[in-house]
A and B are shown apart, each in its own frame.
Chain A
Amino acid sequence: MSEVLLDFNNVTMQFGGVTALNEVSLQIKQGEILGLIGPNGAGKTTCFNVMTGVYAPTLGTVSFEGKNLAKLKRFEITKVGIARTFQNIRLFSEMTALENVMVGADARKKASVGGAILRTSRQRHEEKESRERSMELLQFMGISDRAETAARNLPYGYQRRLEIARALATEPKLLCLDEPAAGFNPAEKEELNELILKIREQGYTVLLIEHDMNVVMKVSDRVAVLDFGQKIADGLPADVRNNPAVIAAYLGVEDNAS
């Protein structure tokens, strides 16, 4: 049994009267790809928001490598090693693709105002490192041909990939992807699956939110299912797929939709 990286312990998250998460316990193990699925409004994104410090949980604790995250500010959580992408793309639209990634890389750098004004050797070294690493990540994500394009002018698929590159640049241990394949066609989804598997090969642990069951089942080592803020299943993809509660949750949604 490998070591637990992130421990979600009995987390409840309420917004006024809405209970977005209800006593959810979830563990992410070092090196795995954990798929997190569930119908619309199940609380998946809220999980990310609690983990990354956007919201403080109403009850329960989140710890990372045994360290409670409650006292940490958001940017400190990034430095501890959790990075994320956003379901609705949130790039720095007036910055180039490369600069977007560099903001992520800068999270690990030290040079500040003094260093920048005096252009100290450390600052120049860090700057070079940020730039090179960011370029590498753009290449890895297959979008380096548009490195100097403003993020807002990038095609949709590039923007989604750029979000992942920016998150990777922060050198996370745990990478959280919130529906990275949303709006992709099957071929693009296939490419992204490959990329996610490659990312894991490089030693990152991945938490993946995804609506498309096929995608999740293909790439995940383990799948957790949320429904109305409650965890209703957690196990191997094949087992989860056949779990009656999961089938009911998904069928229920389809009924509503039609």
Chain B
Amino acid sequence: MSLVLNFWLRVTSLFSGFGEQFRAMNKWQRYSAYGLGVVALYLLPYWPDVPVLGQIVNTPGSQFETVLNDQVVIFVLIALGLNVVVGIAGLLDLGYVGFYAVGAYVTAILTSAHGNLPWLLALPIAVVISMLFGVILGTPTLRLRGDYLAIVTLGFGEIIRLTAKNMDWLGASRGISNIKKPPSMFGLKFGVLDAKPYFYLGLTMVFIVIFILHRLEYSRVGRAWVAIREDEDAAELMGVNTFKFKLWAFTIGAGIGGLAGVHYAGKVGFINPDNFPLQLSILFLAAVVLGGSGNMYGAILGGILVAYMPERLRNFSDKRILVFGIVLVLMMVFRPEGILPKRVGNEHKKRRAKSQEGEVAS
């Protein structure tokens, strides 16, 4: 046990050490580091071709870029969205897969089953409809306290799946096929075999979502969310319209879940109710909690780990879930706040304040 603990402390100190170094850099060094990081991420599909590194990252038994898109990008998007709801605003949502399914099904309906819209037009519609589902589900339940929300959302995820399974209009258990693919853009062709274009598209979605969430987090909205998570009653007594901001968190989360569904549907071209099991909701939640609930970058890391590790460890596939369970339990015991804990305050602002203090002192 102490061996595990020791190892764990080393891993986590590695992360915080990295953070310290990063913080010590000046503005231009930091921007170049960001730039290099972004380029490296867009080149991810080629990582397996790099000697040594390729050996480490490549996934046995499944195509690396397919794993990147179908698993990693989807999980990261979802972890980002769910983190707003669970991690930042502190609302336990156990049926997040429902919004993912709504996004995918709306795309399928509009581009194949009952319409002929292009994928690009279906995307905003599907996201808005997912958000509407968020409003419809959130309005009655967010007035209640946490436990009710957990139960109602759990039910919601199942209701969506069962409705899809039992309605012929939604393809019943056969599902819906021939979903349109994203249109060619920037020289990228979205076909059946090559997963790389989808990955580039998905990664771009991730960056856009990060950008939006970052702006929200460091604003009146983000402060209201965290205040609600920390002490809902005190927040309301300090003038926060708690219901309104909880509903926003829920709705924005739903929209991002829907977006992930749109991307998924466009890639696979065929969906059925079995793609959206309850178990997926639990995995989504595990990603957020494992990575660091309340920290956007923690959630991303959690999404990557939960999506990628099972593929990487495919060689001992029958024990994957067991290993995963053990890891989660160990996390709960030794690091309940997740790999990357919540960040308090805005690092940039802090750094600026520090350097100003230094100027005054000197």
Q: Which residues of A approach B to under 8 Å, CB–CB?
A: 52-54, 73-75, 78-79, 83-84, 86, 90-96, 98-99, 102-104, 106-109, 111-113, 115-117, 119, 123, 126-127, 130, 147-148, 150, 166-167, 170
Q: Provide the B228-242 mask, 1 if CB < 8 A to any CB of A, else 0.
A: 011101111111111
Which of B212, B215, B227, B238 neighbours the largest number of chain A CB atoms within 10 Å of its CB? B238
The residue in chain B whose Cβ has the minimal distance to the Cβ of A104 is B238
Q: Provide the B209-226 mask, 1 if CB < 8 A to any CB of A, else 0.
A: 000100110011111101
The residue in chain A whose Cβ has the minimal distance to the Cβ of B242 is A75
A90–B342 Cα gap in the complex (Å)? Answer: 19
The residue in chain A whose Cβ has the minimal distance to the Cβ of B234 is A90
Contacts A117-B216, A127-B220, A130-B220 given; indicate if A75 touches B230 (C-beta within 8 A): no
Q: Provide the B286-319 mask, 1 if CB < 8 A to any CB of A, else 0.
A: 0000000010000000000000000000000000
Q: Which of A75, A83, A95, A111 contacts B226 (CB 8 A)?
A: A95
User: What is the CB-to-nearest-CB distance from A57 to chain B, in angstroms, rounded to a whole number?
Assistant: 17
Within 8 A of A (CB), among B326-358: 342, 344-345, 349-350, 353
Contacts A92-B231, A95-B226 given; indicate if A127 touches B344 (C-beta within 8 A): no
Q: B239 and A170: CB pair below 8 A?
A: yes
What is the predominant secondary structure among interface residues of chain B facing chain A? helix
Contact residues on B (Cβ < 8 Å of other chain), bracket: 20 to 34
The residue in chain B whose Cβ has the minimal distance to the Cβ of A109 is B220
24 A-B pairs, CB-CB below 8 angstroms?
A54-B233, A78-B239, A84-B237, A86-B234, A94-B229, A95-B223, A95-B227, A98-B345, A103-B238, A104-B238, A106-B220, A106-B223, A106-B240, A107-B239, A107-B240, A109-B220, A113-B216, A115-B219, A116-B220, A148-B345, A148-B353, A150-B344, A166-B238, A167-B238
A86–B233 Cα gap in the complex (Å)? Answer: 11
Q: Check: B252 CB closer than 8 A to any chain A CB.
A: yes
Q: Check: B270 CB closer than 8 A to any chain A CB.
A: no
Q: B226 and A94: CB pair below 8 A?
A: yes
Contacts of A90 in B (CB 8 A): 231, 233-234
A167–B216 Cα gap in the complex (Å)? Answer: 24
Contacts of A96 in B (CB 8 A): 344-345
Contacts of B350 in A (CB 8 A): 148
Q: Which of A78, A98, A103, A115 contacts B224 (CB 8 A)?
A: A103
Contacts of A75 in B (CB 8 A): 236-242
Contacts of A127 in B (CB 8 A): 219-220
A107–B215 Cα gap in the complex (Å)? Answer: 19
User: What is the CB-to-nearest-CB distance from A92 to chain B, in angstroms, rounded to a whole number?
Assistant: 4
Q: Which residues of B approach A to under 8 Å, CB–CB?
A: 212, 215-216, 219-224, 226-227, 229-231, 233-242, 248, 252, 294, 342, 344-345, 349-350, 353
The residue in chain A whose Cβ has the minimal distance to the Cβ of B226 is A95
Contacts of A150 in B (CB 8 A): 344-345
Contacts of B241 in A (CB 8 A): 73, 75
Contacts of B223 in A (CB 8 A): 95, 99, 102-103, 106
A94–B344 Cα gap in the complex (Å)? Answer: 6
A103–B223 Cα gap in the complex (Å)? Answer: 6
Contacts of A148 in B (CB 8 A): 345, 349-350, 353
The residue in chain A whose Cβ has the minimal distance to the Cβ of B236 is A74
User: What is the CB-to-nearest-CB distance from B115 to chain A, in angstroms, rounded to a whole number?
Assistant: 29
A196–B215 Cα gap in the complex (Å)? Answer: 37
Q: B238 and A170: CB pair below 8 A?
A: yes
Contacts A104-B238, A126-B220 given; indicate if A92 touches B230 (C-beta within 8 A): yes
Which of B216, B237, B345 neighbours the largest number of chain A CB atoms within 10 Å of its CB? B237
Q: Which of B219, B226, B235 contacts A116 (CB 8 A)?
A: B219
Contacts A54-B233, A94-B342 given; indicate if A113 touches B221 (C-beta within 8 A): yes
Contacts of B234 in A (CB 8 A): 86, 90-92
Q: B216 and A116: CB pair below 8 A?
A: yes
User: What is the CB-to-nearest-CB distance from A209 to chain B, in angstroms, rounded to a whole number?
Assistant: 16
Contacts A78-B239, A107-B238 given; indicate if A147 touches B220 (C-beta within 8 A): no
The residue in chain A whose Cβ has the minimal distance to the Cβ of B230 is A92
A92–B350 Cα gap in the complex (Å)? Answer: 18
Contacts A102-B223, A103-B224, A117-B212 given; indicate if A95 touches B230 (C-beta within 8 A): yes
Q: Which of A86, A116, A167 contacts B221 (CB 8 A)?
A: A116
